[in-house]
């Protein structure tokens, strides 16, 4: 159950990371509220997952999901670069996340 909670926390990190782009420095109300709620929920769920998961693993997986998710969202929604080097780097992050999951007892 902790892993599922951690994945949801990571997905919420994607929401707030991308949401920051749409807040325009927190000057737009609706995107700012959505972003703030996603931030709070993401950190709360991360904390909950850390009750049973190692802190280093949980934090690395959370940030990895957020980083990869934000980068993919940037490529799809914002027209950011999808160069071979960028995609290869994202694959390496995913490989690291999988490695951490497999090495956790």
Total domains present in the chain:
1
Q: Is the pLDDT of residue 105 over 70?
A: no
Residues of the chain above pLDDT 90, percent:
90
Q: Domain of residue 98: give its range.
A: 1-103
Mean pLDDT of the chain: 95
Task: Summarize the confidence of residues 37-46 as an average pLDDT.
Answer: 98
Tens of pLDDT, residues 82-101 = 999 999 999 999 999 888 88
How far, in Å, CA of 37 to CA of 97, rounded?
Answer: 25
């Amino acid at each position: 159950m902790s892993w599922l909670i951690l994945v949801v926390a990571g997905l919420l990190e994607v929401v707030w990371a991308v949401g920051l782009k749409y807040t325009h420095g927190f000057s737009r109300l609706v995107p700012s509220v959505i972003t703030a709620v996603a931030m709070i929920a993401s950190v709360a769920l991360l904390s909950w997952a850390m009750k049973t998961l190692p802190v280093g693993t949980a934090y690395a997986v959370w940030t990895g999901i957020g980083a990869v998710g934000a980068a993919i969202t940037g490529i799809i929604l914002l027209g950011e670069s999808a160069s071979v080097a960028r995609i290869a780097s994202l694959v390496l992050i995913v490989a690291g996340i999988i490695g951490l999951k497999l090495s956790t007892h």
